[in-house]
Structure 1
Amino acid sequence: MIRTSFYASTAILLASALSSAPARADEGMWTFDNFPAERMQETYGWAPDQAWLDKVQAAAVRLTGGCSASFVSGDGLILTNHHCVASCLFDNSDAGADYLDAGFVAANRSDELTCPGQQAEVVTQISDVTDQVKASFGTLTGEALTKARDARIAEIETESCPDTEKYRCQVVTLFGGGQYKLYTYRKYSDVRLAWAPEDRAATFGGDPDNFNFPRYSLDASFLRAYENGEPVDTPNHLQWNPRAPEEGEVTFVVGNPGSTSRLYTQSQLAFEREVRLPITLATTSELRGRLIRAMDESPEKAREGLDTLNGIENSLKVYIGRTKALNDPQFTATLAEQEAELRRRSAGNSAIGDPWTEVEGAVDAYRTLYLPARFTSPSGSLYGYARALVFAAQEREKPNAQRLPGYTDSALPLTRKRLLDERPVYPWLDEMTMEWSLSKAREYLGVDDPDTRLLLGQESPEQLAERLVEGTRLADAAYRTQLWEGGMAAIEASDDPMIQYALKLAERQRELDAAIDEAYSGPLTAAGAKLADARFAAYGDSLYPDATFTLRISYGQVKGWEERGNQVPISTTMGGTFERATGNAPFDVAPAFAENRADINMATTYDFVTTNDIIGGNSGSPVIDRAGTVIGAAFDGNIHSLGGNYGYDPNLNRTVAVSTDAVQEALKTIYPAPALVAELSAK
């Protein structure tokens, strides 16, 4: 599952562009208002015009669960990955109907399943509001600067989107504070599941095959957007094109890459390597072990924990890849040289000054705040509900411009939806997760630390987690709605132990947030603007910013790579699934594949690779050809791309996609959905 991919083993990895140099080759997750058409024209002899870009932008979908997608019919049909709808399958399942395991095919549209918490969003406009936001800074510093910035952003978002039922406005920070862009979205809050294969079909090969190639994965599914109970009319959709990719052909990946750190300074990378990644690896590995042990207790727990386990294992692989990248001396030496070159080019520019030293000071201050900030907010769905309810009640009593991000007028509709949509909660899973996070807090903060005492009082992590999870009513969506609508009075009057616990922690969490704004976020905002100016002065404005889970487009080509002296092919076939199968998990063939083996066209192109530059959040992004038709859905990267968080290597980094050719074969033969086949074929 693409949430990044591993870095290479040699220094050529960063010969293209890293923290500061201009992009070359197929590198770049470009914003739609700054697509490098001239550069692509020089490389490929062709580039899309504005009409092509506008059409593709109108069909691109952001899913608020952290994935990308695209409209592929005029009736709101959305193509995305199976792992992007796994939670929807999970939330609609019970012991009698396990849709995650068995897959789901809606017999007709009235049978399509509502996906709790999901929202589909389409960018309708991108506006530059840099001057408006920066004008709020004045001579402010620290927390005052961040408050002024957030207040101005809240005002811009509210002024720009008075109709929050249909639209969402989001001001996005780019280049670490060098630019601010207003993204306006047409949103659809009723998203339903139309088709999904069995989990084993999408996850064939499991964790061993994750971030590897060859792959044999049907990681594709279909959602549908509704409004007022009817499918959304989407004339600006991508044309479905069920064909095999051709080696060397130009491809585009359009989606919402989540987060990259390619513009980080050396001090920021050092913090990742020395603090954040080691702690994350150690604690997440323990959580995985605890979960596996618990899932072994019963078939019910095995089913109920599967979606969580898949996410944990994917994240672990990403963190391991990033750790390897930042501990490779050749890799880090190249990063250091890139920064040194930018500093040389900026020397003597008084308007820029020395933002690198400013960032270093902010990072040093953050080192003392990181552990308490990380561990004073326990894990678990039920605690998450409690914290959101408490903060929402507190923030809604303030003027909009004074609220925290996430609780402003423009953000509240989505916050409310995620909080109040009905979905299952499994107490054992929530208790285990909370117990784990509390035990890690005590371990890293120390038994006698005031924050540990605040978290635990006289109880053990086990006792506290059990008392809170067993005593709360927050699994009931109706009760959450009652607290939301009752505001602060209802929160304070509640005798729910989880609500009271969240109230107790809220003051300390706000105190830490303020300290971080003062010592870290504020200085980074000021320094980030100077670093952006330095890059623009040195390399011009044909640069792409770090990923921010906003709409981007990358271009590349269908192309394999050389691995240990052997050429890796561009694609696999569906027949290869049976050749790779061993009969043992995770290489056991999905039941529907086995049942329909005689009817499957074994020569059908299954998964394929391209040189497109992607990262986590691009899951479900359409792979589009020169004609503007969709020929695949990106779902992973190869093992070399795990360092893509910090840089891109055109020789080794690859996107892995499932072909429309394979999805069409599955729709016709393996998980028959004739109505969808007809809908996709409509002109």
Structure 2
Amino acid sequence: MRLKSALFVSASLAFMLPGAARADEGMWTFDAFPAARMKAAYGWAPDQAWLDKTRAAAVRLTGGCSASFVSATGLILTNHHCVATCVEENSTADNNILVKGFTARSTAEEKKCAGQQAEVVTSIRDVTQTVKAAIGSATGADAVRARNAATAKLESEGCTDKATTRCQVVSLYGGGQYKLYTYRKYSDVRLAWAPEAQAAQFGGDPDNFNFPRYSMDASFLRAYENGKPVATPAFLKWNPRAPQDGEATFVVGNPGSTSRLFTGEQLAFQRELALPIIVTMTSEFRGRLINAMAQSAERKREGAETLSGIENSLKVYIGRMKALNDPAFTGKLAAAEASLKQASAGKPAIGNPWGDIAKTVEANRAIYVERLFALPQGDLFNYALALVRVAEERAKPNGERLPGFTDSALPLLEKNLTDERPVTPWLDQLQMEWSLSKAREYLGADHQQTKLLLGRESPEALAARLVTGTKLADPTVRKALLDGGAAAIAASTDPMIVYARSVDPNARALQKRYDAEVDAPLTAARARLADARFAAYGDSNYPDATFTLRISYGKVQGWTERGTPVPTRTVLGGTFDRATGAEPFDLPPAFAANQARIDKNVTYDFVTTNDIIGGNSGSPVIDKAGTVIGAAFDGNINSLGGNYGYDGTLNRTVVVSTAAVQEALEKIYPAPNLVAELRGRRR
């Protein structure tokens, strides 16, 4: 259900050469949209006014999803799975709105989403020369410090109004370019409408990354400021119509990350070291979580969304391993890399970035396990670590701080620390003891880092002592420590704060080693690799995804799977045909109750050829007229190779249609106020 950066591909994937985008391939930055290329393929391309209007309506959610404004009063369309945590946190045992669904009858009933922030790009500025000049001839840790200082200065100077704006310098092409993104931010985001979880998650894991689909994976949020809905004159017109086969579509959102520009050495590191550990760990945590949830109905409710996310991630990680262990697929990757090497031969300015990257990979292998297990997991520990670090970092000049603690980043960090949100103690304890046990397993009981993490306690006893003893679940306690600064942190006897103080220095030392031995030389080598791609492929080169705003173009089109044509769409009535009465194909209660009223011929979900990846969840799917006709929520099984390459014959984006959402708003989960608002009339 959750659109992630999955990497599974079949041996038949027609991998595109890195940087040589063809067909509908590409997650393009808005300042480099390939209008001429699209016009040659489609006979039409958007002009600058179309792009500017669309960009102004696109929203990035800090929870890791995409969205869009769809009214003049701050209404935001996104996926249900992007707001499920908010819905769960606003649920109780007596009123489980995750299960029942939620409809605010007026703005007064809309519920706050803790930790959420909506951001809209207002400008993109190239700052490559400024950052590269600051780095100069520096190497190792000095190069990282110079880069971080330059980006911190650019961000601070670019956003003097920290209350309403956020600036972020983004590295593209692995360090080949740097862009300063400026955002208008809205720090008060509230839930307006969400269907039953079973409607959004119908089909569960068996249907995940598959099609046909019958999923109402859509929800509405609203942005507020000063306690009132914000005015958002730049919004996408709501268009509840069925898509037309072959029509051009655009997906506008914030794809999280891709690895299409990785070298063979980097891929080998993932295949041989990183992925086997991650798959094993994730599998074990899933088992522990299922066992813990079986102990009570309340635990089953409290752990439901965590389990859903873990199962999705496990499917992704297993897919990555399959891809990187497929000789046919890796052979195509190797051939693409060889082609670029040949095109770059005899160019002294480029040198041998592949050899330099290989050296950084070896350095990373030496410290990977220690870095992976430097710190335990869990919300309460994360609060403690953030408080310890912010107290130390705020005392430093802005340019000398750790990334994530600069002036531009602190407002969001402080919001996350002080927002009121429930903490589930048993789940937090489970995460912490699991991560500590895996650290002992992979490092060994006699390793100095294991001794630092555990002392003379077991993972279970340590986690229980810290979670039951800390007061950090209380936002007023966290705010007092935040406001009290270094003195308050140093004086604190809260066991989780004491523990975070004890393990942080080692984690910082490992990060410094990584900066010097891996990050700095890797960035320098990848910048030269970017030069090689630009020389070979020119402006057909697009950067890997970085959770920044991108636009892809494609069309409504099915595909052929094992010789059988797959249709472009499903209809609402198919839900009733597919239902079996048993999880995860049990019929959503509101569907059953309103079966006679539902127009079963309304288009439910559909597929397009748009190039997307994890982070695009909730992205608006837009037609040529600039109206929204759906929200992207998944990809088909073939698209799981999207991290490494795009195959236009097989890769598909899966979309919930606005027509289905409109039917739900009118007949299944009635929300007359939202129906009126989407039509441009407020009740």
Q: Which bin holds the TM-score, normalised by the shorter protein?
A: over 0.9
- Distance across 1 between alignment mates of 2:279 and 2:362: 22
- Distance across 2 between alignment mates of 1:143 and 1:4: 30
Seen in structure 2, the aligned counterparts of structure 1 residues 132 and 377 have a Cα distance that, compared at 3 Å, is same
- Counterparts of 1:140-219 in structure 2 under 5 Å? 140-219=138-217
1:520 aligned partner, one-letter code: V
* Match of residue 10 from structure 1: 11
Tell me, what secondary structure is at the counterpart of 1:491?
helix
* Match of residue 50 from structure 2: 52
Q: Are the aligned partners of 1:11 and 1:334 in contact in 2 as well (CA < 8 Å)?
A: no
Q: Are the aligned partners of 1:561 and 1:652 in contact in 2 as well (CA < 8 Å)?
A: yes
* Match of residue 366 from structure 1: 364
1:507 aligned partner, one-letter code: P
Cα RMSD of the aligned pairs, angstroms, is: 0.8
**Cα deviation digits, residues 37-82 of structure 1 (max 9, x gap):** 0000111111000000000000000000000000000000000000
1:4 aligned partner, one-letter code: S
* Match of residue 642 from structure 2: 644
Q: Are the aligned partners of 2:135 and 2:143 in contact in 1 as well (CA < 8 Å)?
A: yes
Tell me, what secondary structure is at the counterpart of 1:650?
coil
* Match of residue 235 from structure 2: 237
- Distance across 2 between alignment mates of 1:418 and 1:31: 28
Q: Are the aligned partners of 1:6 and 1:639 in contact in 2 as well (CA < 8 Å)?
A: no
Tell me, what secondary structure is at the counterpart of 2:596?
helix
Tell me, what secondary structure is at the counterpart of 2:497?
helix
- Counterparts of 1:147-546 in structure 2 under 5 Å? 147-546=145-544
Are 1:584 and 2:582 an aligned pair?
Answer: yes
- Distance across 2 between alignment mates of 1:630 and 1:308: 30
- Distance across 1 between alignment mates of 2:298 and 2:664: 29
Tell me, what secondary structure is at the counterpart of 2:105?
coil
Alpha-carbon distance, 1:139 to partner: 1.4
Alpha-carbon distance, 1:28 to partner: 0.3
**Cα deviation digits, residues 86-120 of structure 1 (max 9, x gap):** 01101111112111111110011000000000000
- Distance across 2 between alignment mates of 1:646 and 1:177: 19
Tell me, what secondary structure is at the counterpart of 2:364?
helix
One of 563, 567, 570 as aligned partner of 1:569: 567
Q: TM-score, normalised by structure 2?
A: 0.99
**Cα deviation digits, residues 220-250 of structure 1 (max 9, x gap):** 0000001111111111100000001111000
Alpha-carbon distance, 1:12 to partner: 3.9
1:249 aligned partner, one-letter code: E
Q: Are the aligned partners of 1:621 and 1:634 in contact in 2 as well (CA < 8 Å)?
A: yes
- Distance across 2 between alignment mates of 1:396 and 1:90: 33
- Distance across 1 between alignment mates of 2:6 and 2:143: 35
- Counterparts of 1:666-681 in structure 2 under 5 Å? 666-681=664-679
Q: Are the aligned partners of 2:275 and 2:321 in contact in 1 as well (CA < 8 Å)?
A: yes
Alpha-carbon distance, 1:541 to partner: 2.6
Q: Are the aligned partners of 1:177 and 1:528 in contact in 2 as well (CA < 8 Å)?
A: yes
2:51 aligned partner, one-letter code: L
Q: Are the aligned partners of 1:5 and 1:211 in contact in 2 as well (CA < 8 Å)?
A: no
Alpha-carbon distance, 1:190 to partner: 0.5
**Cα deviation digits, residues 129-167 of structure 1 (max 9, x gap):** 000000011111111101100000000000110000000
Alpha-carbon distance, 1:6 to partner: 5.2
Alpha-carbon distance, 1:21 to partner: 4.1
* Match of residue 65 from structure 1: 63
- Distance across 1 between alignment mates of 2:661 and 2:14: 33
Tell me, what secondary structure is at the counterpart of 1:195?
strand
Which stretches in structure 1 are left out of the alignment for 5+ residues?
Answer: none
Are 1:123 and 2:121 an aligned pair?
Answer: yes
- Distance across 1 between alignment mates of 2:454 and 2:647: 47
Tell me, what secondary structure is at the counterpart of 1:61?
strand
* Match of residue 616 from structure 1: 614
Tell me, what secondary structure is at the counterpart of 1:176?
coil
1:145 aligned partner, one-letter code: A
**Cα deviation digits, residues 172-212 of structure 1 (max 9, x gap):** 00000000000000000000000000000000000111111
Q: Are the aligned partners of 1:4 and 1:637 in contact in 2 as well (CA < 8 Å)?
A: no
Q: Are the aligned partners of 1:365 and 1:520 in contact in 2 as well (CA < 8 Å)?
A: yes
1:9 aligned partner, one-letter code: S
**Cα deviation digits, residues 486-517 of structure 1 (max 9, x gap):** 01110110000000100000100010000000
Tell me, what secondary structure is at the counterpart of 2:539?
coil
Alpha-carbon distance, 1:671 to partner: 0.2
- Distance across 2 between alignment mates of 1:604 and 1:551: 31
Q: Are the aligned partners of 2:88 and 2:96 in contact in 1 as well (CA < 8 Å)?
A: yes
Alpha-carbon distance, 1:83 to partner: 0.2
* Match of residue 682 from structure 1: 680
Tell me, what secondary structure is at the counterpart of 1:475?
coil
Tell me, what secondary structure is at the counterpart of 2:493?
coil
- Distance across 1 between alignment mates of 2:504 and 2:52: 44
Tell me, what secondary structure is at the counterpart of 1:645?
coil
- Distance across 2 between alignment mates of 1:546 and 1:664: 35
Tell me, what secondary structure is at the counterpart of 2:540?
coil
- Distance across 2 between alignment mates of 1:67 and 1:139: 38
Q: Are the aligned partners of 1:195 and 1:223 in contact in 2 as well (CA < 8 Å)?
A: yes
After the TM superposition, list the runs of 4 or more consecutive aligned residues in structure 1 that deviate by more than 6 angstroms. none
- Distance across 2 between alignment mates of 1:609 and 1:5: 18
Q: Are the aligned partners of 1:4 and 1:641 in contact in 2 as well (CA < 8 Å)?
A: no
Alpha-carbon distance, 1:8 to partner: 3.5
Alpha-carbon distance, 1:4 to partner: 3.2
Q: TM-score, normalised by structure 1?
A: 0.99
**Cα deviation digits, residues 299-336 of structure 1 (max 9, x gap):** 00000001111111111111111111111111101111
- Distance across 1 between alignment mates of 2:674 and 2:105: 10
* Match of residue 23 from structure 1: 21
